[in-house]
Each structure stands twice: as C-alpha cells, then as structure tokens.
Amino acid sequence: MDLVLQLLFTGIGIGAVYALVALGFVLIFRATNVVNFAQGEFSMVAAYLMVVFSVDLGWPYWLSFLIALGGMALLGVIFNLGVYYPLRHRTFLPVIIATIGASILLSNSVLAIYGPQPQVLQGWFDTPGIQLGPVYLDSQYLLIIAVTIALVFFNYWFFEKTLLGKKLQATSQDKEMASLLGISVSTMIMITFIYSAVLGGLAGILVAPVLFVSIQMGSTIALKAFAATIIGGFGDVAGAIIGGLALGVIETFGAAYISVPYKDGFAFLVLVAFLIFRPQGIFGERVAEKA
Amino acid sequence: MKLTRRDFAAGIVAGLAAPHIVTSARAQGATIKIGMCAPVTGPAAESGRYAIQGAKLALEAVNKAGGILGKQAELIIEDDQTTNPGIVLAFSKLAAQSDIVGFLGSIRSTQVHAMAPDVLKLGKPVMIGGTDPNLTHMGNPWLFRFRPNDSYSGRVIAEYGVNTLGKKKWAVLHSTDAFGTAGGKALTAALEKLGSPPVLDQGYANQSQDFTPVVLAIKQSGADILGSYFTFENDLGIFARQLRQLGVNIPWVGSPSIVNITALKLAGPALYNTYGVADYAEDSSEASKAFGKLYRDAVKVAPDNQSSWPYDAVTVLSAAINKAGSTDPAKIREAILSIKKFPGAEGEYNFDQNGDGLHGYNIVKNDKGKIVFDKHIEFND
C-alpha cells in the first residue's frame, strides 16, 4: 500500500507537469486550429530566463519569476507576430511547419548562448519535501499539483465568467461570427498566444528544480503533453488536465509493475489505443463539432 | 625592358613550378604534422575545447624537449561537429594531407566506429579515446586507445564493491542504450565471477523524468550496494536526488559519469560519499599530478579525461616516432605497441597487441563534493 501511495503521488506530480504544458497546446489549438510545436520550448526558455535572473544575476526568486513570466508574455507577442500572423490566411500546414521552425530556432539560440550543459535552478521552498507516514512528498511536486488545481479553477472562471474569456471562446469557436459581433479576432489570438506562452513558461519554471534546466527539457515534456492533449480531447481544457494526470499515473504504475525501460511505451500505448477506439479523446465532443 | 620569347617561356615555367616546389619543400617538412579531429562545434564543443587544449599542451612540451625527429611538431585541427558524418569528413580532409604522420580521433566510440573504415584504408596510426572494447578488437591495426576500455570499468566496480567495501547484494542500474547495456553486462558478468550475482538488474530509458519506480525496486530488492552506468548527467542527478529522498543510503559505485563535473553540480549533496571509476584522477600518480598542474595553470579549469587522453596521445605518439626514428606508419605502429611502463596523465601505459594502452581504472570518492583519489585497480589480462 505504501508503494502504491508513493507511486500515486509521483504519478500525479509528473502528470500535473504534462497537464500544464498540455493546457498551452489546447488554448492555441482552440484559437487558431493549429498545434504549436514550440510549446515545449516556451517551457525551456522560461526556465533559462529564471537561471539568468535568479542564478546568474542573483535577483530575488519572486522578482526573477515575474520577470521570466513577463519575458514569456513578450515571447508570446513576438511568436504571434512573427510565426502565426504572417501565415494566418494559409492552411494549417505552413503554420505547423513554422512552429517547428520556431522551436528549432529557440532551442538552438539558447544552446548558442548557454551551451549544452544542464543548469541547476533551486525550488521555491528551502525544504525539499515532507515525510507523511510512509509517503515522501516532494515540495516542488506539491507546488506543481497545487498550481495545476488552481489553474483548473482559474481557467473555468476566466473562460466562463469573464467577458474577455467569452470573447476568446467565441473567437475559437467561430472567427467570422466573432468578427461580425465586433470582437477583434487578431487581438484575441494575440492574447491566446501570450497566455499560452506564460502557461508554458510557468510549467518550465515549476518543473526546472525537479528535472534541471536543459535544452531538451521542453521537447521531452511536450511530447508527453501532446499525447495527454489527444487523450483528453484536443481542444478541451479539462481534457488536457485529466489527460496529463492520467498519463503521469499510467506511466508511473506501468514502470513500477511491468517494465521500467518501457515506461514511455505505456504512455504511447494508451495514446494509440485512444486514437483507435476514441480518437476524439475523453472530452471530445467539441472537436467533433469543429471538424 | 624588352620581354623576349625566351624570358616569357622561362617566366611561365617558373610560375608553374613554384607552387609545386613550395609544396614539396613543405612536404619534406619544416615541421612534423599531427592531425586532430575534435568537436569544435556541436553539443560537445565545450569538451572539444578541453581536448584541443590538452593536445596543445603536450605539443608544447614535445617541442620544448626538441620536437619530433629533430623538427618542431604542428597540430592540424579539423572540426568533427560532434557527429558521425562530421568526423568522417574531418578525417578525410586530414587524410588528404600526405605530410600528416599520425592522427587523434574521438573520445566517442560511435564516431571512431564511423571513421574506422577510412582509417584502415589510409593505413596510418590514429589515437582514440572511445571506450567500446570492440574498437581495438575488430581487426583494425591502426587504432590505439588512450583510455581503459569498458570491460575494465565493470570489473573494477565489482572488484572494489565486493573486495574493498565487502558488499555482496548488488543492484545494477544501467541505461538501455549501447553504452549502458554493455556496461551493465560487464558489471553483472564480473559480479557473477566474484560469486555475487546481482539481486536486481534494472535498465532505464535515457531522459527519464522520474525514477521513483526504480528507487522503490532497489529498496524492495534488499540490495546493500548499487552499481550504475548512467549516460546522461541529468538522469543521474534526478535519480540521485530521488534515491536519497526516498531514504536509500546504501554505498554506490558508478561509471565515470558519477564524478563528472556537471553531475556533481546537478546532484549536489545527493552524490556525497559515492564512489566512481575514473580514468583520470589528479592524485593517482606523479604524472597525473604534473598534468593537472600544467593544465590548471594554462587553462584555468580543473583537468578531466577530455583533456588528459589527448595530452597522453600526443606525448606517446611523439615518443613513438622518435623511438622508431622514422615516420613510416608500420614502424610507428611497432614503436607504439612496444611502449611499456610509460607514465601518462591517465595512468601507466603498457600497450598490448590490440592497441589498448591502459588496463585498469582509478576509484575515486565524492568527499562532500570534492573528488578524492582512493585506489587504482589494474588487471594484467
């Protein structure tokens, strides 16, 4: 039982990381109908920004955190103007290729500046974790889980209860109709990119103390987050969260009880099963409507 | 001045002949040239810089001592881009220069495998740092190794854990890539030979974000010592932290990555009191200490195996050419293979007929973040 509880905690913790990145995928997909393959690099860039401000310059953690998120918002603007906006009237394919190009550019730019060696970023808390009976709770994972839960409520409130959220939803559902109603579609898409970049950055900063800061950190998480998005139902915020958590728990238990080397295999086995038997994902109705 | 037909013809002839005369003069050589393939760009550019510094330091020392065959030695560097096609291209550029008498290849076995057919075709000696045992056992007489091969690291880990630390219940943890699998197999085989087969043989995939299942498996196995082969430092860092967080504090003897500077930085106190095998340990011999001081003074960073093996390679190659008294490849080969009890930065070189110069490893301990030499274990077979 102790083993199960420990695995459950770790599975939920790592799943929450996937969920945070998956949220960014979903938001951009809903707004633009394309998958942003640079979403993982948003996480990586934010983690490196934290290293610059918090470690290299020695600025307070909270200030570095705010500056890093501000930097991500700026990156969201640049990304929208430089990658999405010029191709907005083209089919989805050129946009996807442009996001892949941007992802390569981002990772190689950071590689050129910082070199290939991984960096260390301290966590938010001084205490690495707490022992609760037989289960060790890593403080950083606890924070990640707490932020994920908070974001579920925040997203619900934002998209369902605020005018801006409703405008964003309207834009994602039908751009022409939203435009006819006086909503500035390009502004809404810009806001979506900013929000997604900040969310991706938040995931990167939160996970960096656990996985270290490296060039590959974004792509490794993004691949799982992408799978989580498909499992949850592409285009659904709740689906991204549930998909991420499910993936984390499945791969952790699969590794413990079946095979460690095939840990990644379990995640993608579930993905294949979903693609065959329920391609629209757990919460897939909206995707079906869009299609 | 009037230009006659004869003057014109003489001018043409001189113009055509001049480059050839210069090239031929150069080939006969003001200097002796050594070619080096090194990662100047790509993911290993940082360690490539260390390798070049190591080779240059050795070259300076050789030149100060009178050079090679009475001439000054010169290093010609080509960028291998840290890739297999890159090193093949770099080596072909160097091989095209007929006045290069010997070469330095890569520390990465996969790159040495990629260039090996061209090395065989060229038929000139190439010094390597790759540790895949097969490299010197596949019928290529021109490869000479300046680091102990992987078959020795497994034996040294087992020998130290069983006979020095007195531990019999082993958990063996290794990456499932080519390096980790070969290392894990070598360690398991050595443990079986010592009568302590592992109670847990656990592989993991590179770039794992979480090692909780692995740590719990080690805990449940009842192992009293851990032997490991990690390929990437970030995997090692994540594992080390989780191992300590989940309360596993058994002795741990790891492959060279456990004492790598990056791993020490990432894992911090989680690696305190662990042991590692290291081909270069600064305090292991007088020659290692001397290299360490020379390197620190010149480069201002701590020396490691990235720089020590090229240092030894240039030193040994130069000594062999001087011993052979000729730049004839076959004679250089014979001279390298005859080198015995040669004190190098990496250890004492005793070349066998396969081209392996070193046959043992150092055991070092992580003493609160400082790497301290413990003992050297040497094998005669």
Output the domain CATH number for residue B328.
3.40.50.2300
For A119, which residue in chain B has the nearest alpha carbon?
B266
Quick: pLDDT tens for B95-128.
Answer: 999 999 999 999 988 899 999 999 999 999 999 9
Distance from CA of A34 to the nearest CA of B (A): 27
Contact status, residue A50 vs residue A121, Cβ threshold 8 Å? yes
Residue A159: is it exposed, middle or buried by C-beta count within 10 angstroms (0-12/13-18/19+)? middle
Residue B316 lies inside a defined structural domain of this protein? yes
Decide: B220 and B185 in contact? Cβ < 8 Å. Answer: no
Q: Read off the pLDDT of residues A266-284 as tens digits, 9 standing for 90 and up.
A: 888 888 998 898 888 887 6
Q: Enter the CATH code of domain A2-290.
A: 1.10.3470
In terms of domains, do B166 and B49 share one?
no
Q: Say yes or no: B243 and B371 in one domain.
A: yes
Mutate to test the interface with B, among A8, A120, A140, A212 (most CBs of B within 10 A): A212
Contact assignment for B210 to A6 by CB distance below 8 Å: no
Q: What is the pLDDT of residues A45-73, one digit of tens each?
A: 999 999 999 999 999 999 999 999 999 99
B136/B188 same-domain check? no
> Has residue B359 been placed in a domain?
no
CB distance from B207 to chain A under 8 Å? yes
The answer to whether residue B213 neighbours chain A at the CB level (below 8 Å) is yes
- Quick one: closest CA in A to B233, which residue? A118
Q: Are residues B373 and B225 in the same domain?
A: yes
Looking at residue A268, what is its pLDDT?
87
Query: Number of folded domains in chain B?
Result: 2
Task: Tell me which long-range contacts B336-341 makes (C-beta under 8 A, separation of at least 24).
Answer: B336/B125, B336/B144
| A130 bridge partner residues | A137
Q: Are residues B310 and B259 in the same domain?
A: no
pLDDT tens digits along B284-313: 999 999 999 999 999 888 888 899 999 999
Both B112 and B156 in one domain: the answer is no
- Non-local CB neighbours of A187 within 8 Å, separated by 6+ positions: none
CB within 8 Å: A116 and B44: yes
Closest C-alpha among B276, B235, B232, B237 to residue B364: B276
Residue in chain B closest to A254 (alpha carbons) equals B213
| The predicted structure's pLDDT at residue A254 | 92
Within 8 A of A221 by CB-CB distance, chain B residues are: 209
Question: Do B96 and B116 fall into the same domain?
Answer: yes
Query: Distance, in angstroms, between A271 CA and closest chain B CA?
Result: 18
- Measured CA distances, A285 to A79, A276, A291, B87, B351 (Å): 29, 16, 10, 53, 70
Residues of chain B with pLDDT under 50: 1, 21-27
Q: B270 in a domain, yes or no?
A: yes
Chain A within 8 Å of B7 (Cβ-Cβ)?
no
Nearest CA in chain A to B44: A116
Give chain B positions within 8 Å (CB) of A252.
Answer: 210, 212-213
| Residues B126 and B60 both lie in one domain | yes
Structural domain boundaries, residue B213: 151-278+364-378
| B234 in A contact zone (CB under 8 Å) | yes
Task: Tell me, yes or no, if B221 comes closer than 8 A to chain A by beta carbon.
Answer: no
The candidate with the shortest Cα–Cα distance to B133, out of B124, B145, B117, B121, is B145
B246 interface with A at CB cutoff 8 Å: yes
CA–CA gap between residue A196 and residue A198 (Å, rounded): 5
**Which chain B residues contact residue A43 at CB under 8 A?**
none
Q: Is the dihedral of CA B330, B87, B57, B28 positive or negative?
A: positive
Please give the Cα distance from A107 to A123 (Å, whole number). 23
Q: B209, B243, B301: best mutation site toward chain A, by most A Cβ within 10 Å?
A: B209
pLDDT of residue B24: 47
Q: How many angstroms separate the CA atoms of A34 and B93, rounded?
A: 45
Are the Cβ atoms of A256 and B216 closer than 8 angstroms? yes
Distance CA B379, CA B372 (A): 22
Residue in A closest to B270 by C-alpha: A128
pLDDT computed for residue B190 by the predictor: 94
B233:A10 CB<8 A: no
Is the domain of B80 the same as that of B188?
Answer: no
Burial class (CB in 10 A: 0-12, 13-18, 19+), A152: middle
Q: Is B303 helix (H, G, I), strand (E, B) or coil?
A: coil
Strand B200-204's sheet: what is its strand order?
B200-204, B170-175, B225-229, B252-254, B275-278, B360-367, B370-378
CA distance B177 to chain A (A): 10
| B247 and chain A in contact, CB less than 8 A | yes
Are A214 and B208 inside 8 Å of each other by CB?
no
What is the CB neighbour count within 10 angstroms for residue A168?
A: 24
∠ CA A129-A133-A139, nearest 5°, is 15
Structure tokens at B77: 């560097």
- Residue B208 falls inside a structural domain: yes
Question: Given this model, what pLDDT does residue A257 score?
Answer: 92
pLDDT score of B97: 96
Closest partner residue to A255 (CB to CB) among B207, B213, B237 is B213
Same domain, yes or no: B369 and B238: yes
Residue B22 lies inside a defined structural domain of this protein: no
Task: Based on the fold, state whether residues B338 and B263 are members of the same structural domain.
Answer: no
A136 → closest Cβ in B214, B246, B265: B246
pLDDT for position B191: 96
B233 and B298 in a common domain: no
Which pairing describes strands B275-278 and B225-229: parallel, antiparallel, or unpaired? unpaired
Question: What integer pLDDT is reported at residue B22 of this predicted model?
Answer: 47
| Residue numbers of chain A with a pLDDT score lower than 70 | 284-291
Instruction: Please give the backbone phi and psi of residue B332, each rounded to the nearest 5 degrees, phi first.
Output: -65, -45
Name the residue among B43, B217, B245 with its Cβ closest to that of A116. B43
Domain presence at residue B225: yes
Q: Nearest by CB to A263, which of B208, B241, B245?
A: B208
What is the token pair recorded at A190? 């810009």
Chain B residue with the nearest C-alpha to that of A132: B246
